[in-house]
Amino acid sequence: MSTDILMPALSPTMEEGTLAKWHVKVGDSVRSGDVIAEIETDKATMEVEAVDEGVVEALLVAEGTEAVKVNAPIARLSGGEGAAPAPVATPATEPATAVATAPAPEPVGVSAPVRAEGARIFASPLARRVAGQKGLDLTAIAGSGPRGRIILRDVENATPATAAPAATAPRATAPAAEAPPRQVRSLEQLGIPPGSYDLKPLDGMRKTVARRLTESFRDVPHFPLNVDIELDALLEARIAVNAMLAAEGVKVSVNDLIIKAAAVALRRVPEANASFTPEGIAYHHHADVAVAVAIDGGLITPIIRAAETKGLAQIATEMKDLAERARSRKLKPQEFQGGTFSISNLGMFGIRSFASIINEPQGAILSVGAGEKRPVVRGDTLGIATVMSVTLTCDHRVVDGAIGARWLTAFKALLENPIAMIV
């Protein structure tokens, strides 16, 4: 019996990828967990592990093939279970951390098989793993594999027997009317003559960024809020902190202080740490702060998880590691997917002020400009201070003007009096 190995979906937004390298050849024997290939996505290079054992019968996609669609067969094993599971995928040189599976069919109720109490349950490793993720009891699932072994399709087709059908049945909705596709005119139609430019094809990252940001800008009702922040006290505090951490080899940046201040402000104004969903507004338990990092071909947003609970040294160490691995495309999916709030800092490029596009499903994103000497008025006195302009772009469905203003007030107070971050 032959088993097709499918192109895995390595992230929620992945539609296709490049099969960069095979680690096996026709005739090789593989076991569950063996690395069989490397796949390049729009965000990272991932290793693909086999989820079943068998002999490589055919390699259906050649090395270097681009635009391989998710769930397309890429290889075939003989001696497998007969199902078509997606392989396990992990970042290259990193330990296995994630399972990517093909979309599950409509759930059905489970009929409990008759098993003697304490009898051994025969199930494939992948079936056990997916059952654990879905909260299913393997003793209540009938296996359709050889000698009644539980395989992936049995788990994908199962829901707990105690669940009422109505609880899992999708709500019937009227089909939404589709807008006509936007007609994109060529450069020639817009008056740019052929041969006057060089065309570089879009890679997976550029395609994904273009699609997601277009959807966000079009579909999310957003608005900006701006504030100027004096940084002199923060810069003095940074010098003192770095002197204390010098022996540990840790250096805190202004961006690390901004991450910490944003997280503490989200804790103090929890209404701003939220996401819009069709079912309601989700208020997040922690401030998972995503920070935009420029890489070749686009950008990526690695995440400092629960940043409100971490000290400056830990934030600085984690951010340095995440940024380095982001630039080499070695991040794990959970290190850049998700997040409850984003920061984009262009101050190092001399940009004074700008507004970012919201990174769904987050409710807001902070755009940070350069700190520069500016004239300031204090009472009737004119002085000079280091001032930074920031812009908070808000999803009006979640963060309205009053909530956004309260968050900016808290954030500004933390940066202008940095000791408040730790009390």
Catalytic residue positions?
396
Whether 263 and 289 have beta carbons less than 8 Å apart is answered as yes
The partner residues of 152 in beta bridges, in order of sequence, read none
Give strand ranges (E) for 355-408. Answer: 364-378, 381-395
Dist CA 231 CA 393 (whole Å): 21
Residue 121 DSSP label: P
Whether 33 and 50 have beta carbons less than 8 Å apart is answered as yes
CB neighbour class for 341 (10 Å; exposed up to 12, middle 13-18, buried from 19): buried
Q: How is 217-267 classified by DSSP, letter by letter?
A: HHHS-EEEEEEEEE-HHHHHHHHHHHHHHGGGT----HHHHHHHHHHHHHH
End-to-end CA distance of the chain: 64
- In the structure, how many helices (H) and strands (E) does the chain have? 8, 21
Instruction: Establish whether the linkage from the previous residue to 361 is cis, with ω within 30° of 0.
Output: yes
Backbone angles phi, psi at 220, to 5 degrees: -100, 120
